[in-house]
Structure formats: structure tokens, C-alpha cells
């Protein structure tokens, strides 16, 4: 049994699920999800995988946790052991992501494992990409308003463009970690894509769409998607995934919107600077995506 700790927003949950699912498949065992961290979690929309996707969502029980980790299954003990200073005290079954880059130590993980981390690299699951895309099939049919957007996407050289602001812009601590993609980045990305596509049609997604309307000017046909909010915001990712090409933000949400598009000829432009600091993100951006 592989247990993956699930926490954070939808994009983070998807990375954590995908890494655990791939490890379980590699070891011919099942994946269970530890969602206990959401009991007192006030950010984002809570645990969303079960509601949105068709993926297996077997939730780990307390007995499951004990069977894999023994006395280290206690949440406060795991929090302590997740610190680098206590790495030598961890059971071999407790795998804590050591840094933001891809960690090949996961390939030596025992079949009974518990994963803690964000695991934000396609390298953790690219051997099972078809399975992951199938698991992340959206569960619910879209409403008529979104169906109209899909028709426009299907009839055009659709390019999704995502601008993440929200807590990135409004929370000083979050801004200090993540930073914001500049308008210069988006202008360069639009130029890159439009020079390679004959008639691009941009579909613009943001958690602050009015700011985008006022600050980003495009000389191409475009649609501002402003109706998927709150618990329905995942539908923006669903629409992104149906576009033919993508300009993403420094956001796991639009990363997945682009990755779920299976077209081999897709153009994906990602920001070269993903965090406000100089953290190495070379393993985050898949080969073939363009970094600007």
C-alpha cells in the first residue's frame, strides 16, 4: 500500500496524487489518500479530487497509517520527522520530499510507503501519463454556459492564458514566496505563440479577471472567462485542458490545465521564474515547454 499525503489547492493535490499513483503502479500495489490535513484547513476549496475527477479515491484510515508507519503515523510526529534534522530517525517507509527538484530516491521506495511533499515534477509519473490523464477525467458534465465556451474552443486555434493573482497579489507572505508573472512575460508569451499560429484565439482565465481586462491588451480575438467561481473554479482547468495551446502562470492550476491536453503538437509557454527566489525549477517544466 502507498499512502499519499494530500494537502493544498487543487493543483497541489493532483501532483501528490499522481506521484503516489505512479509509485503504487510501479510496485503493483494500491494507493490510498491521507486527507486528515483538511480537518482544520481553511484555504482554497478543501479536498477536491473526489468531487471533480474519476480517479480512485480510497481514503487512508488510521489503521492503514499504522500499518505503514507504526508509531510514526501520529500527525505531530510526522511533522517533526519531516524536518531535515530528523531525517535519520524516519522509518524507510516515510518518504519526505527533500527539495523542489526531482528526487530519484523515490525509485527505491518500498512497496509500503507514505509520501510527504508536493512532488511537482512530471518525472514522478511520466511513465504512467496515460493512466494519470485517465484518472483526471472530469467527473461532471459542464453547464450550458461552459458548453458554449467549449464550442468556441473547438472551432478555433484556442490558446488558454492564465493569470494568477488572488493570494499571490493580496497576501504579502505569499507574494514574497511566489511573486507575480509580469505583464512583460505575458506580452512575450503572446508574441511567441501568435508568431507560430495563424489565427490564435485567446481564452483568458484569472482569479482577478477585472484586473486583467484593465491591464492586458491583446490584438487578437479573445474571451474573458469570468463565471467559474468558488467551488466551480475547477471548470476553468477543464476548459484550459481543451485548448490547443497554453500560456500558463507560475501556478500548478494552469500547469495541469496545459498538461492534461494530450496533443503532442501543443505549444506551452511557462514563466522562467516560478518563485520570487532563485529556486531551481528545471524539473517542474516538462521537456518541450517553452520558458520565457
pLDDT for 177 beyond 60: no
Do residues 71 and 176 both lie within one domain?
no
Residue 276 grid coordinates: 520570487
pLDDT for 175 beyond 60: no
Do residues 150 and 239 both lie within one domain?
yes
Burial group, residue 198, by CB count within 10 angstroms (0-12, 13-18, 19+): exposed
Do residues 269 and 165 both lie within one domain?
yes
Average pLDDT over every residue of 10-17: 96
Do residues 180 and 128 both lie within one domain?
no
Do residues 126 and 206 both lie within one domain?
no
Do residues 156 and 121 both lie within one domain?
no
Residue 95 grid coordinates: 518518504
pLDDT at 43: 65
- pLDDT higher at 46 or 145: 145
pLDDT band at 142 (very low <50, low <70, confident <90, very high): confident
Do residues 160 and 67 both lie within one domain?
no
Q: Of 20-29, 38-47, 105-114, 120-129, which range is least confident?
A: 38-47
Choose the final residue of a domain: 82, 101, 135: 135
pLDDT > 70 fraction of the chain, expressed in percent and rounded: 93
pLDDT band at 42 (very low <50, low <70, confident <90, very high): low
CATH for 205 = 3.40.50
Average pLDDT over every residue of 182-190: 94
pLDDT for 169 beyond 50: no
Range of the domain at 197: 144-291
Strand partners, 115: 4, 95
Structural domain total, the chain: 2
Do residues 148 and 117 both lie within one domain?
no
- DSSP notation for 192-261: HHHTTSSSEEEEEEESSHHHHHHH---SS-EEEE----GGGTHHHHHHHHHSSEEE--SSHHHHHHHHT-
Do residues 7 and 60 both lie within one domain?
yes
Do residues 118 and 241 both lie within one domain?
no
Do residues 56 and 86 both lie within one domain?
yes
pLDDT > 90 fraction of the chain, expressed in percent and rounded: 77
Choose the final residue of a domain: 74, 101, 135: 135
pLDDT at 150: 95
Choose the final residue of a domain: 135, 167, 184: 135
Average pLDDT over every residue of 62-89: 93
pLDDT band at 33 (very low <50, low <70, confident <90, very high): very high
pLDDT band at 165 (very low <50, low <70, confident <90, very high): low
Q: What is the mean pLDDT of the chain?
A: 91
What lies within 8 Å, CB to CB, of 30 at 6+ separation is 1, 2, 24, 56, 58
pLDDT tens-digit series, residues 203-245: 999 988 899 999 998 999 999 999 998 889 999 999 999 999 9
Edge to edge, what strands does the sheet with 94-96 contain?
31-34, 2-5, 113-116, 94-96
Helical axes 252-259 vs 10-26, angle rounded to 10° = 50
pLDDT for 45 beyond 90: no
Do residues 211 and 182 both lie within one domain?
yes
Amino acid at each position: 500500500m502507498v499512502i499519499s499525503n494530500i494537502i493544498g489547492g487543487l493543483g497541489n493535490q493532483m501532483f501528490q496524487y499522481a506521484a503516489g499513483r505512479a509509485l503504487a503502479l510501479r510496485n503493483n500495489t494500491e494507493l490510498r489518500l491521507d486527507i486528515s490535513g483538511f480537518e482544520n484547513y481553511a484555504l482554497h476549496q478543501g479536498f477536491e479530487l473526489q468531487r471533480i475527477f474519476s480517479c480512485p479515491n480510497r481514503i487512508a484510515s488510521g489503521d492503514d497509517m499504522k500499518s505503514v508507519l507504526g508509531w510514526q503515523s501520529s500527525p505531530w510526529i510526522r511533522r517533526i520527522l519531516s524536518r531535515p534534522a530528523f531525517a535519520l530517525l524516519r522509518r524507510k517507509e516515510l518518504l519526505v520530499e527533500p527539495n523542489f527538484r526531482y528526487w530519484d530516491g523515490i525509485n527505491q521506495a518500498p512497496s509500503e510507503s507514505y509520501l510527504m511533499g508536493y512532488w511537482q515534477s512530471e518525472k514522478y509519473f511520466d511513465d504512467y501519463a496515460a493512466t494519470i490523464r485517465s484518472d483526471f477525467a472530469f467527473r461532471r458534465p459542464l453547464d450550458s454556459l461552459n458548453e458554449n465556451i467549449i464550442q468556441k474552443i473547438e472551432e478555433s486555434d484556442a490558446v488558454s492564458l492564465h493569470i494568477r493573482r488572488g493570494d499571490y497579489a493580496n497576501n504579502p507572505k505569499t507574494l514574497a514566496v511566489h511573486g507575480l508573472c509580469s505583464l512583460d512575460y505575458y506580452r512575450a508569451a503572446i508574441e511567441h505563440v501568435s508568431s507560430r499560429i495563424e489565427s490564435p484565439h485567446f481564452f483568458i482565465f484569472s482569479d482577478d479577471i477585472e484586473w486583467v481586462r484593465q491591464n492586458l491588451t491583446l490584438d487578437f480575438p479573445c474571451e474573458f472567462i469570468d463565471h467559474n467561481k468558488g467551488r466551480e473554479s475547477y471548470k476553468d482547468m477543464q476548459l484550459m485542458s481543451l485548448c490547443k495551446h497554453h500560456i500558463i502562470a507560475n501556478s500548478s492550476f494552469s500547469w495541469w490545465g496545459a498538461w492534461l491536453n494530450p496533443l503532442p503538437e501543443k505549444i506551452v509557454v511557462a514563466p522562467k521564474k516560478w518563485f520570487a527566489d532563485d529556486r531551481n525549477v528545471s524539473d517542474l517544466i516538462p521537456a518541450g515547454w517553452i520558458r520565457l
